[in-house]
Amino acid sequence: MHTDQAAGLRAMQKKPAGSTSNPTAAAAKKTAPEKVGDPPSGKPVRVIAVTSGKGGVGKTNVSVNLGVALSAKGNRVLLMDADMGLANVDIMLGLSPQYNLSHVLDGQKSLREVIVEGPGGLKVIPAASGVKRMAELSALENAGIVHAFSELANDLDVLIVDTAAGIASSVATFCQAAQEVVVVVCDEPASLTDAYALIKVLNRDYQLNHFRVLANMAQSEQHGRKLFLKLATVTERFLDNVQLEYLGTVPFDPALKEAVQKQVPVTLYNPTSVSAGAFRQIAEQVNRWPVPQGATGYIQFFVENLFQG
Ligand SMILES: Nc1ncnc2c1ncn2[C@@H]1O[C@H](COP(=O)(O)OP(=O)(O)O)[C@@H](O)[C@H]1O
Ligand SMILES: [Mg+2]
């Protein structure tokens, strides 16, 4: 029984990225926009939502440092702060933005005007209390913001969305609209059980079936892989068509804590630290993910889905 499961997990991990055990559901979710009219303009942009079941597991650090590392590899990266909690991206980066997305929704500012330059080439859309409002926009407002985002597409390779923790519908909407969902876990019972609960809801109510798992604050790579296997074993046992893929491990690192205090991403504050090395490795992996195909690869898809959610 146990060996069977292990074999199942291994087989699961060998599947190419983006493959799914339920292609029909995935196709239904992902191809919808292709049916309507012309293909989107602009160029494909990789949209990655970073989420977790429980707060405080390192989502913002993952978003920021993955962003910096991807940027160092030549990607043009935009980081959207979609968490209205306390430890915001702007605090983590020592920025004090004047405007945010709600000013765009109010028509006071253009999207370009609210974007701030972060360190390491990162561009940032600051957190907005308006994020929740997005689902309630009129068709006209909707079209405006989709247009605003698609104008950005030509200057962008990757959009990273730092979400709040848990099963709030806004979190689910961001995850559903993104092409890739990274679930951050750490070695605390609540982190794993809450991650499982989140995956279950995203699968059952939002038809998501592919997740990448990042183990943070682990003692070692081996420890991180163990955490992944714990989650994957339960997921495989109880959720039929969910595929989890191991993305990587970021070790517990005092240098990262210090970097947070200094409001500088650890990848810039201490590039030789173990966590910075781990983030670079993970960025290398992300660079190898298949290029988004079809309409899902376009930022319009992300934004349209966001507003319809
Ligand atoms: N790899 C790590 N090593 C050491 N401490 C970490 C690590 N990742 C996160 N932390 C600590 O956890 C805190 C919360 O991280 P944060 O990225 O804000 O989590 P979240 O966005 O999930 O709430 C950080 O301020 C830092 O002190
Ligand atoms: Mg956070």
Does 60 contact ligand 1 (Cβ within 6 A)? yes
Tell me which residue has tokens 């939002």: 206
Query: Which pLDDT score is estimated for 170?
Result: 73
Q: Measured from the CB, is residue 253 less than 6 Å from ligand 1?
A: yes
Contacts of 70 (CB under 8 A, 6+ apart): 77, 157, 158, 160, 283, 286, 287
Q: What local confidence, expressed as pLDDT, does residue 11 receive?
A: 36
Nearest ligand 1 atom to the CA of 250 is: 1
Instruction: Among 64, 194, 260, 279, name the best residue to mutate to test ligand 1's pocket (greatest count of ligand atoms within 8 A of Cβ).
Output: 260
CATH architecture of 47-308: 3-Layer(aba) Sandwich (3.40)
CA distance 29 to 32: 6
Instruction: Determine the pLDDT at residue 134.
Output: 60
- Cα of 200 vs centre of ligand 2, distance in Å, is 22
**Which residues 6+ apart lie within 8 Å of 11 measured at CB?**
none
87 Cβ inside 6 Å of ligand 1: yes
- What tokens were used for 304? 């349209």
Whether 275 lines ligand 1, by a CB cut-off of 6 Å, is yes
| pLDDT score of 292 | 75
183 lines ligand 1 (CB under 6 A): no
Q: Say if residues 68 and 268 touch (Cβ distance below 8 Å).
A: yes
- CA angle, residues 22, 25, 240, in degrees to nearest 5: 45
Helix pair 189-204, 169-177: axis angle to 10 deg: 70
* Ligand 1 atom, smallest distance to 92 CA: 18
Ligand 1 proximity of 252 Cβ (cutoff 6 Å): yes
Position in ligand 1 atom list of the atom nearest CA 218? 1
Low-confidence ranges of the chain (pLDDT < 70): 1-42, 84-87, 128-146, 294-296, 307-309
**Distance in Å, CA 61 to ligand 1 centroid:** 6
CA 246 – ligand 2 centroid, Å: 21
Residue ID of nearest Cα to ligand 1 atom 8: 58
Q: State whether the beta carbon of 303 lies less than 6 angstroms from ligand 1.
A: no
Compute the distance from residue 210 Cα to the ligand 2 centre, in Å.
22
Where in the chain are the domains?
47-308
Instruction: Decide: pTM greater than 0.75.
Output: yes
Tell me, what amino acid is at 126? P
pLDDT of residue 290: 86
Q: Which one-letter amino acid corresponds to residue 201?
A: V
